[in-house]
Amino acid sequence: MPELPEVETTVRYLRKHIKGLSIKGLWTDWPKITRHPASIKEFERRIKNKKIVDVRRRAKFIVLDISGKESIFIHQKISGHLMFGRWKLVGGKWVSQQKGPLKDDPKNRHIRLVLFLSNNKQLALADLRRFGKIMLINDSDIDQVPAVAKLGPEPLDISFLQFKQLFSKKHGVIKSVLMDPMFIAGIGNIYSDEILWLASLHPLSRVEKLSESQIKTVWQATKKILTKAIELKGSSVDDYRTPEGERGQFQNATRAYHHTGSKCSKRDGGIINRMRVGGRSAHFCSHHQKLIS
């Protein structure tokens, strides 16, 4: 599933390219994608000719602020990613009219939703597994959407004092805690591994046993890793692609994730090991990542 850096990459690109445009229509081959009690025609009627005022993110969710009292709320889910370009419907399949990855990469061909825009381009959702969803939400209700209401703070926005206060109320192993969206939003498997590698903490370290300096190191590592991942346009380990149809590059900069059996790049004599933590894989250095228990 796209994590914070992938979604932030998408939002920044779309804000630059579709803000100020109007929505002229909608196509989908899967009406249930709206998760909406209204028909797809009603959904289209309510967004047609609405101007896209802004594009923003909350955790792993994308919000298109449109003119009026409603916003479009998009969750790309496991295999979904938004793309911006020009497509033509040929034999029931959308074919990119642009050369490059939008046309050539098979991951970009499973288009389930198209929003037609006023500049004669389209915003499309590719989603192989059909898990993605798009909803209309009253502006006043966005923070009460069940998927959002209980989320923790944004890791790139939180101060160290706020971060430390979060830890003062928490128990458990650090890998699972970082991945808990109710604790802090948007950190998944890849980035929790990289944060802990940089912070020199074993994934089974107990958060209630961490010193203030260790908590500060985690806070600093979180910001550094997520910022770097956004600079590299996220990670394309599987389905994720940027709105231009390209692969993100952070998977080529990881130091722990998917490096099982390799020598640690710190050259400290450690080997990257893999274990299961809370049902998820965890990759860590056998030498410099210390277990605090």
Tens digit of pLDDT for each residue in 121-171?
999 999 999 999 999 999 988 888 888 888 999 999 999 999 999 999 899
User: Please, which residues have CB within 8 angstroms of residue 275's CB and are 6 or more apart in sequence?
Assistant: 203, 204, 281, 282, 284
What token pair was written down for 177? 């805690």
- 2 in catalytic set: yes
What token pair was written down for 6? 């992938």
pLDDT for residue 142: 84
CATH topology for 160-285 is Helicase, Ruva Protein; domain 3 (1.10.8)
Assess contact for 125 and 134: CB atoms under 8 A.
yes
From 56, 164, 263, 280, the catalytic residue:
280
pLDDT for residue 146: 83
Distance, in Å, from the CA atom of 231 to the CA atom of 245, rounded to the nearest integer, reads 16
Half-sphere exposure of 189 (CA within 13 A, CB side): 16
Residue numbers of the chain with a pLDDT score lower than 50 = none
pLDDT for residue 292: 97
Distance, in Å, from the CA atom of 205 to the CA atom of 223, rounded to the nearest integer, reads 20
Assess contact for 282 and 273: CB atoms under 8 A.
no
From 2, 5, 203, 243, the catalytic residue:
2
Distance, in Å, from the CA atom of 53 to the CA atom of 46, rounded to the nearest integer, reads 15
Q: Are strands 280-285 and 61-66 parallel, antiparallel or unpaired?
A: unpaired
What token pair was written down for 248? 């993100």
Distance, in Å, from the CA atom of 59 to the CA atom of 74, rounded to the nearest integer, reads 12
From 50, 57, 60, 121, the catalytic residue:
60
Delimit the CATH 3.20.190.10 region(s) of the chain.
Answer: 4-149
Question: Judging by beta carbons within 10 Å of its beta carbon (0-12, 13-18, 19+), is residue 243 exposed, middle or buried?
Answer: buried
From 3, 6, 44, 70, the catalytic residue:
3
Q: Which helix (H) or strand (E) holds 126?
A: strand 122-127
pLDDT for residue 145: 84
Delimit the CATH 1.10.8.50 region(s) of the chain.
Answer: 160-285
pLDDT for residue 102: 97
Other Cβ atoms less than 10 A from the Cβ of 270: the count is 17
- 109 in catalytic set: no
Assess contact for 5 and 105: CB atoms under 8 A.
no
pTM, to two decimals: 0.94
Question: Which residue intervals of 157-286 are DSSP H helices?
Answer: 160-168, 174-178, 189-199, 212-231
CATH topology for 4-149 is N-terminal domain of MutM-like DNA repair proteins (3.20.190)
